[in-house]
Structure 1
């Protein structure tokens, strides 16, 4: 349905309707929800009577500048040099089609054309929104705020916000709060999305039952740099979320004739609560993967926790042989393989294999690993440089720094200015050389420090730097080059754990590393939050011997394997220290994982309970409905005593056909779908049995 005043965009299961406001020159949200929701009076309608605010401040506006919206949150703040801030635009034209919409507004006095852009993502329930800003005058414009979009959510009792918070080694903690009035902001100024918050937010009516099917709205910002997501509970009980990037310099200058395109904001809706919204995001990230989705993600072994910086070909090969015997398919050498890297004080930037570590040659070592039937991978940190490296000595101007100020070391290293074209060319040439000269099938890209003294000394005041956007553009350019020039190479994204995970990165990598914390109960909680926002085929997870950091209670090797196989399974423990029994058990778990990883990576995911419950699980339903995989965990008492003596804990499954029959081949037990939905799957926990992987086959 389209007209000159109202347009509806349809995704797979949802509708998004925009209208031109009768009160002024702006677009408003009319309806957002399941198909058909646009038929009837808008739930976002308002009285049109205002006191001490303007109609624009009260309206459910899609995007408004300071000037028209002077009191509540404006999405754009622009000015000409020497003039007051403010934009007063008029509607110019609409450009709709079946899958997209563009609404253009102009301010001739300021010299600005603003185009609000909408596009549905085929086969998903995600709508992209972004804004194009063009300087149409003779003077440059100063943009102090340049958000991508704003979304409005109808609520009755305030909003329940769900977001992912944390810190290094404790990322993706699912956190909730009620917002009835005021402003709540999350974001990062660390040059990456950061460990403290993910650029993701879900909004529900606070009156809806927690963790139950209820209308749920979500946004995620596609930007691996500085960002914010701000939620404002505005007058009249309206809740409005706006999001965008945050310029490092505080403003962006737009020259006459130039157009700036903001990052895309992905908007999603599900009527099935947070669990349903997670599946919308999972489908979307499978769309982002394209043909790479169907590439088998191999079981890897990473040698970091076994050897650290002490990389020696003989020791690495011993680990590789042991890993191959377990059924591992990929061997990755982490930090410490290159010259000058005896510890974290040197070597970064000089990316050549250390001849002392590989006395018979690096290529001979790689060939020996591959002769074991293993693929080979390597860790790199392309944006980092050590002060004592040859690269730093030859190109000190490539480093972020401010003249007259000390260069601060973080993790004993500095950061390259990846916004520079010459730095990008160096990184591209370096990675091309490594991937062309050596038989490398897997690349782990890490980043272990944020930019601190973020300046470019050889730039003048007239250059009007936008360093954050420049770094992001350089990072994405290098990843795009790798995807084009080395399409067979699997790429893992990492930034000291989960510091740089967003849709721009996920569209260009195969897996990401959610956290450096691999302790069992800590990791379970990290992965629980991660799966709310991201798909399991992107989630790299290792089995290690790491003790708990935040929850030190011990758990079995089985618990560690079941946790890790909820995504892309890896092993990172020192296998030389494992007993024969542990290796045998590990080989059995790896074999079990291989039999179900297609369901884990491509199936419908349901989160059963939370890590705060004594029992929780992740359920994966095969695309064809023939198999159901349940990864179940005991997170409660360690003495093995059941909650009710003599009775197993029951996990109620979801989404099954109640009339169908499901068989657990491991125990030869048959259940009806109705039984599993009503009573649940029995889990008989004990002190020696704290996790299980159950595979049900539909008969």
Structure 2
């Protein structure tokens, strides 16, 4: 049988779509390494359908309710009738692009399935465009459906958790039934990341998806009756449905689809390469070693105390000093001040300009914390513009963290936020901005597609910052890792994965984070915080090596550190500066997991390999009883090459490091190490 077929190719993969011979829909033919398109499809089905329709059994790329009534549809629209029945209306192919159009002439709806490859990566972007001839109510409008061929059920890997315990790598075997993750908190949320990996069983090739949307979302995986795994993903409107006006087009968020034959570890490097692409020219901006004052001072911010911290931070090698919450008028605690973004004249009696100048005089760049979406009920802003706050007429305003949320979907609120940031960045010599967000929207109030409008306002402000203040580094934060997605990562320089900075807790958070996101995006601090979930003590070296796995920061009260601790910190900061380019731009490999006695991360760039190794388990008892060093087997090295550790003078064969691994002798006082190998 002859049918239309289109193939998209990335650096190492092929993705082939065909027009189904069984109905008016597109379906996946093959997806895998280059050349996989030669041969019969692994997703071909028997064409026998009892108690379901052919569309319900097909590996369809996107189908409406109407054609696919039983096994889950990506599009549910209602006009006079609830349902869409469409016909194929043509294809447009370009360099690395594909557009497949379908129309329902009765309903007056045109839907276009859009595909685009990302140069230099193994990522394909997918989204849909819906255009109405007459007013329609869209009850569901996912971005795409992703089909994965499996033989005996799927191993799903996702990132779950809660505030202070984000990005916990979690796995589930799905042989039948439905699995769903998502958020209705107006941000991706702390409970789940908008990311999913699918494997055929416990090992082998990995398929991944990630939704580019900093609002409400879902990812739903279904093990369908014929054994296929089909994943649907998209945004979730706060109001339950969206009205599509005549002549307008609704474009769904982009869904990034990735494949690696090298399992989860290989898939992580596909995502890292994609996020380096998202960074564009800003990727090669040096991410400075920062000091943040929050854990040292909390809301007790004044010029004298901040300068005392800045002097010690400069002495140990920090390059950037960030004043966190508490710098503005009315902010003695978390009950006031938000919205009135003016430096507190009591805290800075000689002026904020003078204070910043003194910080910069220490050789430090200067950064500031803001929470632009938030407002305190007692603020001047709230008194002047109570209508700017989300709320329902006749209902009490609900406080979360003693604050309310601005309706960023309103253009006048966006203009206020832009004007506020322009004023701060234009008046003061600020090189770094930490954007925080500490409460979800609850009562939205006015009619409209408010989740999408808030997202559009948030992205408009970030885009303005990139254009109007291109030299300012922007950090994305939402009570920790509550808003981390590709739309945010494309517009910020780093993100804050969690408010939890305790060493072993943070190790678990970062292990999950690095499965989905690149090291150059991961801000991580060294602090004195005790463990919340794993209270076992760890050395200062452990805290530094752990934080050096991304973008190094320090948040401890340095005034309380001993001279010996400060000297050790200075040595670690200096070592980090020597290798950060490898960490931020090299190929990262996750070695083991926090559940293992020894785990780490390997970074390779050019002729250098950097290994961050961390001890999490029991000691071997040496020298009192016989014991052997723990070892981390490295990966991706040339077996016949030699690698030299200049710190110890040891030379290793590549085969030795691949087969036996790097040895580490741990003790109570030596629970982490950073090894730099040079290929000879």
2:376 corresponds in structure 1 to 386
CA distance in 2 between partners of 1:687 and 1:435 (Å): 47
SS at match of 1:530: helix
Does 2:328 align with 1:376?
no
Verify the 8 A CA contact 1:642 1:648 in the aligned structure 2: no
Structure 2 residue aligned with 1:581, among 564, 569, 576? 564
Q: Give the superposition deviation at 1:640.
A: 5.8
Q: Give the superposition deviation at 1:98.
A: 2.6
Runs of 4+ more than 3 Å apart: 638-644
1:651 corresponds in structure 2 to 632
CA distance in 2 between partners of 1:583 and 1:46 (Å): 65
Q: Give the superposition deviation at 1:318.
A: 0.7
Q: Give the superposition deviation at 1:84.
A: 2.5
CA distance in 2 between partners of 1:61 and 1:262 (Å): 18
Structure 1 residue aligned with 2:657, among 676, 680, 693? 676
Verify the 8 A CA contact 2:3 2:21 in the aligned structure 1: no
Verify the 8 A CA contact 2:3 2:20 in the aligned structure 1: no
Does 2:82 align with 1:85?
yes
1:102 corresponds in structure 2 to 99
2:33 corresponds in structure 1 to 34
SS at match of 1:237: coil
Verify the 8 A CA contact 1:628 1:696 in the aligned structure 2: yes
Structure 1 residue aligned with 2:451, among 456, 465, 468? 468
2:205 corresponds in structure 1 to 215
1:62 corresponds in structure 2 to 61
Q: Give the superposition deviation at 1:643.
A: 12
Once the two structures are superposed, residues 618-662 of structure 1 have per-residue CA deviations (whole angstroms, 9 ceiling, x without a partner) of 00011x2x0000000100126865898331111110000010000
Q: Give the superposition deviation at 1:4.
A: 7.0
2:297 corresponds in structure 1 to 307
Once the two structures are superposed, residues 28-61 of structure 1 have per-residue CA deviations (whole angstroms, 9 ceiling, x without a partner) of 0000000000000000000001100000000000
Does 2:276 align with 1:286?
yes
Structure 2 residue aligned with 1:508, among 469, 487, 491? 491
1:353 corresponds in structure 2 to 343
2:333 corresponds in structure 1 to 343
Task: State which drifts further: 403-412 or 165-174.
Answer: 403-412
Give 1:5-404 correspondences, 5 Å limit.
5-80=4-79, 83-136=80-133, 139-206=134-201, 208-209=202-203, 214-404=204-394
CA distance in 2 between partners of 1:419 and 1:600 (Å): 38
SS at match of 1:292: helix
Structure 2, gaps ≥5 residues long: none
CA distance in 1 between partners of 2:660 and 2:622 (Å): 21
Q: Give the superposition deviation at 1:403.
A: 1.0
Once the two structures are superposed, residues 175-221 of structure 1 have per-residue CA deviations (whole angstroms, 9 ceiling, x without a partner) of 00000011000000000000000000000012x43xxxx11100000
SS at match of 2:226: helix
Once the two structures are superposed, residues 229-271 of structure 1 have per-residue CA deviations (whole angstroms, 9 ceiling, x without a partner) of 0001111001000100000000000000000000000000000
2:609 corresponds in structure 1 to 628
Verify the 8 A CA contact 2:5 2:16 in the aligned structure 1: yes
Verify the 8 A CA contact 2:621 2:627 in the aligned structure 1: no
Verify the 8 A CA contact 2:619 2:666 in the aligned structure 1: no
Verify the 8 A CA contact 1:642 1:685 in the aligned structure 2: no
SS at match of 1:278: helix
1:687 corresponds in structure 2 to 668
Once the two structures are superposed, residues 276-307 of structure 1 have per-residue CA deviations (whole angstroms, 9 ceiling, x without a partner) of 00000000000000000000000000000111
Q: Give the superposition deviation at 1:534.
A: 0.1
Q: CA RMSD in A?
A: 1.1
Give 1:428-447 correspondences, 5 Å limit.
428-447=418-437
CA distance in 1 between partners of 2:237 and 2:194 (Å): 16
Q: Give the superposition deviation at 1:404.
A: 1.2
CA distance in 2 between partners of 1:407 and 1:130 (Å): 37
CA distance in 1 between partners of 2:478 and 2:665 (Å): 39
Verify the 8 A CA contact 1:29 1:61 in the aligned structure 2: yes
Structure 1, gaps ≥5 residues long: 457-463
SS at match of 1:637: coil
CA change 1:23–1:426 in 2 (3 A) is same
1:496 corresponds in structure 2 to 479
1:487 corresponds in structure 2 to 470
Once the two structures are superposed, residues 465-507 of structure 1 have per-residue CA deviations (whole angstroms, 9 ceiling, x without a partner) of 0000000000000000000000000000000000000000000
Q: How many residues align?
A: 679
TM-score relative to the length of structure 1: 0.96
CA distance in 1 between partners of 2:115 and 2:612 (Å): 38
CA change 1:627–1:530 in 2 (3 A) is same
1:460 corresponds in structure 2 to none
CA distance in 2 between partners of 1:376 and 1:244 (Å): 39
Verify the 8 A CA contact 2:25 2:60 in the aligned structure 1: yes
CA distance in 2 between partners of 1:683 and 1:648 (Å): 5
Verify the 8 A CA contact 1:269 1:277 in the aligned structure 2: yes
CA distance in 1 between partners of 2:513 and 2:30 (Å): 29
SS at match of 1:198: coil
CA distance in 2 between partners of 1:640 and 1:373 (Å): 46
CA distance in 1 between partners of 2:157 and 2:77 (Å): 31
Once the two structures are superposed, residues 341-368 of structure 1 have per-residue CA deviations (whole angstroms, 9 ceiling, x without a partner) of 0000000000000000100000000000
1:565 corresponds in structure 2 to 548
Verify the 8 A CA contact 1:640 1:688 in the aligned structure 2: no
CA change 1:344–1:639 in 2 (3 A) is farther
Verify the 8 A CA contact 1:143 1:253 in the aligned structure 2: yes
Verify the 8 A CA contact 1:640 1:687 in the aligned structure 2: no
Q: Give the superposition deviation at 1:12.
A: 0.8
SS at match of 2:309: helix
1:449 corresponds in structure 2 to 439
Verify the 8 A CA contact 2:182 2:216 in the aligned structure 1: yes
SS at match of 1:281: helix
Q: Give the superposition deviation at 1:376.
A: 0.1
CA distance in 1 between partners of 2:177 and 2:164 (Å): 31
Verify the 8 A CA contact 2:118 2:125 in the aligned structure 1: yes
CA distance in 2 between partners of 1:644 and 1:11 (Å): 54
Q: Give the superposition deviation at 1:405.
A: 1.1
Verify the 8 A CA contact 1:643 1:649 in the aligned structure 2: no
Does 2:675 align with 1:698?
no
SS at match of 1:488: coil
Verify the 8 A CA contact 1:642 1:649 in the aligned structure 2: no
Once the two structures are superposed, residues 159-189 of structure 1 have per-residue CA deviations (whole angstroms, 9 ceiling, x without a partner) of 0000000000000000000000110000000
SS at match of 2:535: coil
Verify the 8 A CA contact 2:620 2:627 in the aligned structure 1: no
Verify the 8 A CA contact 1:281 1:534 in the aligned structure 2: yes
